[in-house]
Amino acid sequence: MKRELFIGLMSGTSLDGVDAVIVEFAGQSCQVLNTCALPYPSALRSELMALHMASDNELERTALISNQLSYLYAEAVQQLLSAAKLQPRDITAIGCHGQTLRHRPELGFTLQIGNPALLAELTEITVIADFRSRDIAAGGQGAPLVPAFHQGVFADPSINRVIVNIGGIANLTSLPIDGKIIGFDSGPGNMLMDSWIEKHLDKRYDEDGNWALSGILIHELFDKLIVHPYFDELPPKSTGRDTFNLAWLETYLDPRYLPEDVQRTLLELSAASIALATHKYCGTIEEMYLCGGGAHNHALFQRLQQLLPDIKIQLSDELGIGINWVEATAFAWLAKQCFNQQPGNLPEVTGAKGLRILGAIYAC
C-alpha cells in the first residue's frame, strides 16, 4: 500500500497562531506523526486583526503580512521536519490554509492570505493553498471544508455522530448511519469570548471558562444575541468575523452590564447555538466529539453536556486525533486530495454545483 507524507498548516479565525502536523496516509487511513504550534507574535496578530476591517493602504499591508506569515509557516515546517528527522524530499506536499481576512461567499469571494510561492521557496516542498475559492466559484459557501475529512476518518457505520470543531467559529459535521452528511457553521465558537476577555483583561482566551463562570447570565442580552438571523438560516451556510465581532456585540450592550457577566452570556451563546443547530439539523445523535481550541474550555464543555443530556460528548482524542490537530490534519488531507486529483468538497455541505478538486499547486 502506497504511503505518503503530507504537512498540514492551519491558522484559524481565533488568530492565535499556526498549528502544523505531519500526517502519513496509507489508503483511507491516516496517522499524525508530529505536531507543533507557533503563536502569532503580538505585532503580527494586531496587524491581522486590523486588516479584517477596511483601512488605509490595505493592498500593500496585506502583501507584506502575507510574507511574514509565510516565514512563520516555514519555521513551523522546519520544526516538524527536525523533530521527525525528515528532509523536504520526504514530504509530498504542504497543505496551507492561510489566514482568513474576509469570507463573503454571498458576494462570490473568500480571502485567505499567505504567500504560497514564497513558502515553496523557503521550504523546497510543493505547496497547495487557496482551497476555498473553487468551491465558491462553483456556487458553494467554500466552508466548511473539513466535513469531507470527517467523513473519511471519523464516520462509524453503526453510530450517529456529530463532530464539532470549536475554533473562532464553531462548525458541525453530522455523520449519520444513513442519510446525507450535513456540515455547516453553527455560529460563534471562541471568537467573541476571546475578543471580550482580551479587551478587558488583556488575555488571549478565557482559560477553562473561569472568567465566564465568575459572572452570571444576562438573559436580556442573550435573548437579543440568539435571534441573529444567521441562526435560523438553513444549511449550507458559513460565517466568520465579518458577521460576529465586537462591533456587532457592542450594539447590544448596556453600561450597567459587568464584563464578567457579558463573558458568561457569550459562553452561553456559543453553547446554545451549537446545541440549537444540533437539535434542528442533525437528527438523532448518540455521540458528539469536540475538537479545536474551544474543546479546552471546561465550562463550555460542561454547558454543552447540560444542554444535550442525551448525547455522549467526548474529545476527538478518543477517535485518534488530538483536539488541537484535527483541522491541520484536514488540510493535509485536502492537499493529498488535490495532489492526487481527487475532489475535496462535499456539495451537500457547501452547496456547490458538484464535486471539485480544491487548491492551487505551487510545485517544487
Q: Residue 179's domain is classified under what CATH number? A: 3.30.420.40
| Residue 149 near residue 332, CB atoms below 8 Å | no
Quick one: 171 and 301 in the same domain? Answer: yes
pLDDT the model gives residue 333 = 97
**Count of Cβ atoms closer than 10 Å to residue 329 Cβ:** 28
| Residue 94 near residue 128, CB atoms below 8 Å | yes
Q: How confident is the model at residue 1 (pLDDT cuts 50, 70, 90)?
A: low
The parent domain of residue 97 ranges over 3-141+324-362
Q: Is the pLDDT of residue 13 over 90?
A: no
Quick one: 54 and 202 in the same domain? Answer: no
Give the distance from CA 176 to its chain's centroid.
Answer: 22
Quick one: 307 and 328 in the same domain? Answer: no
Is the C-alpha dihedral spanning 278, 192, 206, 331 positive or negative?
positive
- Rg (alpha carbons) of the chain, rounded to whole number: 20
Give the distance from CA 232 to its chain's centroid.
Answer: 21
Quick one: 126 and 170 in the same domain? Answer: no
Tally of domains in the chain: 2
Q: How far apart are CA 176 and CA 307, in angstroms?
A: 21
Q: Which residue, 3, 12, 1, is CA-closest to 331? A: 12
Q: Is the pLDDT of residue 133 over 80?
A: yes
Quick one: 123 and 150 in the same domain? Answer: no
Quick one: 306 and 207 in the same domain? Answer: yes
Quick one: 356 and 212 in the same domain? Answer: no
Average pLDDT, the chain: 96
| Residue 174 near residue 285, CB atoms below 8 Å | yes
Quick one: 193 and 293 in the same domain? Answer: yes
**Count of Cβ atoms closer than 10 Å to residue 3 Cβ:** 11
The secondary structure of residue 316, as a DSSP letter, is G
Quick one: 128 and 157 in the same domain? Answer: no
Quick one: 192 and 48 in the same domain? Answer: no
Q: How confident is the model at residue 29 (pLDDT cuts 50, 70, 90)?
A: confident
